[in-house]
Structure 1
């Protein structure tokens, strides 16, 4: 038994003498979270974003502005109005080019086929960079002269009454509209 005990003692002491590699986890540095405050953009940048963005975001507008546009403060109503306005603008003036400040809170909206002041927007933003007010003014085109307007009305009336186009051919569309 002494031999077994001596052998066990030798094995035990040799185990303690062998350096065992230990993996000690180093404490990780504290995770630092950088809080970036929302960036306030310039009025010109806000206006440009309003024009070119595919989808509008409600956070770009003050609650009062959204409420004025739609009683439910729905940004989708504003999206629809913006889309229609831009389609009309492209139809009348060509593609949108840029926004240019003309002093104070007024900006030109430049299009490829429009004179520089064809569309002027007065814009107000709040301290957070949200659109608080927007007024669009478009240079008025001269109204048609009375004789030209009367001639156009007479041609339209004639087309509906006789079901004929301006070239004298019958119009199945006008006929079906009348029915």
Structure 2
């Protein structure tokens, strides 16, 4: 894995563990020679992971939509010009760039935008638009509920058995990266026997 798209929040939670986690991940990826492709902002967990990776000499590529460059409104991300920054027109272009530039997806704690990115990565894997690993770093039990819901969808029958291993989750980075490195791509829906769908 030369580069990972890292999905995480642009917010800074009151609990300092989240920003510390992002810094630790950014530094660890850089030390392992894994580049970071991320949302291009300098705030919150996004900014923390980028600055930590760059401080260790790591490659950091930011991809940000025009509307968020200047931090319009109170929730603006404000572009990080310290990294290699690509400015795109839409969120769709941003997510396509994440997929094109990376060898996998690493999900840290985040909010609605992070969930959008996670589920798109999973959906695109199911459909065969990519065959890259999707790893969820479930530190502090942040994603316990999401993982339980994913199991529930599978138990009810909305996630095919062949696709139940797309999301790989670990509480620590090292075992998660190892699982991602050895990921065996699933058989996408488009290549499945139609009689089994």
Report the TM-score when normalising by structure 2: 0.22
Report the TM-score when normalising by structure 1: 0.23
Who wins on radius of gyration, i.e. which is larger?
1
Bigger relative contact order, structure 1 or 2, given CA contacts below 8 A and separation 6+?
Answer: 2
